[in-house]
């Protein structure tokens, strides 16, 4: 892990970071920031964008999406801070916001922030995100706290098992942000090709059903990047997904990489109002 002095050294790639706050119109890449509640997503968000979203040590602080931007190595990034969730499988409001964004918002890179002291539970969400998207970076945050608790995390083993870049960080101290940026950039420009782990241990009959449905979806929407996840959701009977197919939302968003703002279909109670934070 890099120390404080490295963060300010001009040789550090971080030196090419320009924090843009909310000052952006055009951007080259969209980053989604997902993770369990209270893992420091907003802290990571703040150190990338220079914004000062209120951070606090309690789960559920960010209840809507917050957006900001930064420039790195000549590319402009828009970054969206999503509500913290334990999973993407239930029907609660905040989970839906996170899930819809990763699926329909088509982020170029999804950064998952995990708590180094609670890797196992955090991995449940990581595996679910990797079902949806190919391009992800795992940021193992709160490494300082893990150290305090005598927990050691084998970053390389995690990266190998998950098939995505894994970056250790202590965002509160600004440590690891430089490495995180570099990895986001490499994945975004296609220099690092992720081979995300897919859930393998499905029982044979379910795996068969998923495969069958995935093929059908792929045929109908060849540009859709995450047909397997859609299949999983349909098999669960997710009404939101069924509606999305019925009303043609898929045809709108699937694979079309729009550079303008991509409106999510609003659910009631305006989940989409930007930057509301409590």
Q: Which of 10, 203, 204, 260 binds other proteins (CB under 8 A)?
A: 203
Give least dist CB 97 to other proteins, A.
Answer: 9
Give least dist CB 140 to other proteins, A.
Answer: 9
Distance CA 188, CA 177 (A): 16
- Positions 53 through 72 that interact with other proteins (CB under 8 A): 54-60, 63-64
Give least dist CB 103 to other proteins, A.
Answer: 16
- Residue closest to 155 by CA, chosen among 169, 144, 145: 169
Q: Which of 9, 13, 23, 148 binds other proteins (CB under 8 A)?
A: 148
Decide if residue 276 touches other proteins (CB under 8 A). yes
Question: Burial of 209 by CB count in 10 Å (0-12 exposed, 13-18 middle, 19+ buried)?
Answer: middle
- Residue closest to 143 by CA, chosen among 104, 173, 123, 165: 173
Q: Which of 231, 244, 249, 254 binds other proteins (CB under 8 A)?
A: 231
Task: Classify 210 as helix, strand or coil.
Answer: helix
Q: Which of 167, 217, 224, 244 binds other proteins (CB under 8 A)?
A: 217
Decide if residue 211 touches other proteins (CB under 8 A). no
What is the 8-class DSSP label of residue 82? Answer: P
- Positions 73 through 132 that interact with other proteins (CB under 8 A): 86-87, 89, 91-94, 117, 119-121, 123-124, 126-128
Give least dist CB 82 to other proteins, A.
Answer: 13
Give least dist CB 228 to other proteins, A.
Answer: 12
Cβ atoms of 88 and 35 within 8 Å: the answer is no
Which of 32, 84 has the CB closer to other proteins? 84
Q: Which residues contact 12 (CB under 8 A, 6 or more apart)?
A: 2, 6, 178
Containing 7, the helix (H) or strand (E) segment is helix 4-8
Question: Burial of 82 by CB count in 10 Å (0-12 exposed, 13-18 middle, 19+ buried)?
Answer: buried
- Positions 18 through 57 that interact with other proteins (CB under 8 A): 37-38, 52, 54-57
Decide if residue 169 touches other proteins (CB under 8 A). no
The distance from CA 20 to its chain's CA centroid, rounded to whole angstroms, is 20
* Token representation of residue 119: 């890797």
Decide if residue 17 touches other proteins (CB under 8 A). no
Give least dist CB 32 to other proteins, A.
Answer: 19
Q: Which of 245, 262, 265, 272 binds other proteins (CB under 8 A)?
A: 245
């Amino acid at each position: 892990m890099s120390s404080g002095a490295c963060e300010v050294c001009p040789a550090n790639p971080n030196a090419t970071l320009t924090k843009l706050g909310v000052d952006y119109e055009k951007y080259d890449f969209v980053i989604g920031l997902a993770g369990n509640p209270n893992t420091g997503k907003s802290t990571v968000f703040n150190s990338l964008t220079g914004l000062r979203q209120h951070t606090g040590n309690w789960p559920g602080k960010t209840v809507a999406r917050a957006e900001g931007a930064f420039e790195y190595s000549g590319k402009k990034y828009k970054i969206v801070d999503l509500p913290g969730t334990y999973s993407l499988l239930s029907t609660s409001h905040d989970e839906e916001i996170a899930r819809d964004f990763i699926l329909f918002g088509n982020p170029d890179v999804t950064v998952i922030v995990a708590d180094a002291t609670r890797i196992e539970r955090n991995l449940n969400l990581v595996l679910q995100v990797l079902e949806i998207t190919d391009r992800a970076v795992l940021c193992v945050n709160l490494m300082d706290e893990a150290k305090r608790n005598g927990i050691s995390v084998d970053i390389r083993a995690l990266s190998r098992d998950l098939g995505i870049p894994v970056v250790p960080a202590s965002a509160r101290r600004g440590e690891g942000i430089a490495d995180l940026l570099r990895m986001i950039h490499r994945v975004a420009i296609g220099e690092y090709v992720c081979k995300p782990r897919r859930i393998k241990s499905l029982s044979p009959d379910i795996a068969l059903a998923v495969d069958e449905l995935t093929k059908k979806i792929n045929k109908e929407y060849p540009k859709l990047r995450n047909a397997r996840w859609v299949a999983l959701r349909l098999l669960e009977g997710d009404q939101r997904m069924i509606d999305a197919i019925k009303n043609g939302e898929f045809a709108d968003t699937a694979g079309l990489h729009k550079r303008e703002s991509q409106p999510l279909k609003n659910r009631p109670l305006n989940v989409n109002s930007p930057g509301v934070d409590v």
